[in-house]
Amino acid sequence: MRVQRVAFAVSLCGAFIMAGCKDDTLVGPDGSPSTIVFPPDNVSYQAHVQPLFNQTCALAGCHDAGAPQGRVRLTDYGDAVISTPGVVIPGNPDASELVLRIEGRSGARMPFGRNPLNQNQITGIRTWIAEGARNN
């Protein structure tokens, strides 16, 4: 009986470790990975974009400061917009790798292994980039 409990505990811990960035505890009512809602214009990096990144992208095993996937960090404005050319191209959402990935048009759809962003969030990221990807 004790061996079975230990085996169960070990397998449960392994499942948590293997889940890594697939934690869907922050799922909105529509199944999106976050409850962040973007306005139709004047999108704020501080109020909308970074909080969405914090809940869906800048996580351990994904795009955090530790060992970011694809060397893309989304933990702050400098990392998201300045440090990795091409991820965000201010004024040009259609050429920004971030948009291509969250829309599933280039490589694996992001966030990988999780529910996709909802249409409001995708449109909000596009709008933020089209408005110049300001650090506002």
- pTM for the predicted model, two decimal places: 0.74
**What's residue 1's pLDDT?**
53
> What digits encode the pLDDT tens for the residues 74-89?
888 998 898 889 999 9
3-state secondary structure of 28: coil
**What's residue 135's pLDDT?**
96
> What digits encode the pLDDT tens for the residues 12-60?
333 333 334 444 444 554 455 567 899 999 999 999 999 998 888 877 7
Give residues with Cβ within 8 angstroms of 31, minimum separation 6.
115, 118
Spatial distance between the Cα atoms of 48 and 106, rounded to a whole number of angstroms: 24
